[in-house]
Chain A
Amino acid sequence: MIHWNSLAEFLAMGRHGPYVWGSLLVMALLMVAEPMLLLRGRKRLIARLRRQHRAEASERRQTGAGSRSMANGSND
């Protein structure tokens, strides 16, 4: 049922090996990299927002209640 007689024949792809594997490799790399980068970005964002929220909360405690709109001034 399998089309190939040997691994070498499979890898050679009838002289088109570099083109076929070059396509597959780059496609696979990018399709793994994209979700990995997203996961990393999400982790960093969550850490940053938690820091911000904590900083705002402690600021509120120091200056008293009702100054939340002031504490939201950071715009990064």
Chain B
Amino acid sequence: MSNKLINWFRYASPQTFYPLAGRMIPWFWGLAAIFGVAGLGIGFLLAPTDAQQGEGYRIIFLHVPASWMSMFIYLVMAFWAATGLAFNTRLSGMMASALAPTGALFAFLSLWTGALWGKPMWGTWWVWDARLTSELILLFLYIGFIALQAAIDDPRRADKAGAILALVGVVNIPIIYFSVQWWNTLHQGASVSLTRAPSMAAMMLWGMLLCALACWMYSIAVALMRVRVIMLERERHTDWVRALLAGRE
């Protein structure tokens, strides 16, 4: 138990985590590329036509992974925010800050691909229904988190303020996820769920899962890249950053 704790706190120090993250990044890029090529290949070249939606349904291979990531990244961000508040570890706040822009990107992509899917299928780019509106609120939460942190000069205070916002906003995630069950909505229900067999062809399912995995790997790679930049910036007066920057020309 104590051994484990020591290890975790060792990796929670930016000085130890920085080179470790640097070594991991290429692996996640490689995996993202492999999963992405496989997923898009299956989704766009091999998967059959959808009986109801024709070829337009292929947006699912982009829309569902983007939407999943936008929600999941928020949960991870809130986890780091809570950890930062509870243990006051420097790394936690940096991780939360590193995730927010990527989460915002996926929330935007979810809305964008959703609009382009909605137009041919529903005849409208946008409706103010529960699913779409709560996803838009998610985008605003990300933007609010980024703006709030940018407005506070002291990084430790910015971390705390951001963490509270992130934790309050977490209530929105179940609202997004269950909105299609709780309210009448134009949005279709889940095609994949943990509790029952997926309501789609195996080829479609595989394409979607591989694309989702690619987005996961992408998110990890980008978040690690960003956390390294944040570490350099915040720890610029420390000896380890001085030594690191002096060492490499």
Contacts and interface: CB of A to CB of B under 8 A. Distances in A.
A15 B54 contact: yes
Nearest to A35: B222
Given A3-B45, A27-B66, A50 B225 contact: no
A49 B105 contact: no
A42 B119 CA distance: 39
A39 B228 CA distance: 11
B15 to A, nearest CB: 16
Contacts of B112: 23, 26-27
Contacts of B47: 3
A16 B62 contact: no
Interface residues of B, number: 41
Contacts of A20: 55-56, 58-59, 116
A24 interface: yes
A7 B236 CA distance: 53
Contacts of B55: 13-16, 20
Given A15-B54, A16-B120, A34-B102, A49 B229 contact: no
A24 B232 contact: no
Contacts of B66: 27
A13 B120 CA distance: 12
Interface in A35-76: 35, 38-39, 41-42, 45-46, 49-50, 52-53, 72, 75
Interface of B: 44-49, 54-56, 58-59, 62-63, 66, 101-102, 105, 108-109, 112-113, 116-117, 119-120, 153, 218, 221-222, 225-226, 228-229, 232-233, 236-237, 241-242, 245-246
Given A19-B116, A19-B117, 11 more contacts: A2-B45, A3-B48, A10-B44, A14-B55, A16-B54, A16-B120, A23-B117, A34-B101, A35-B221, A38-B226, A38-B229
Interface of A: 1-4, 10, 13-16, 19-20, 22-24, 26-27, 30-31, 34-35, 38-39, 41-42, 45-46, 49-50, 52-53, 72, 75
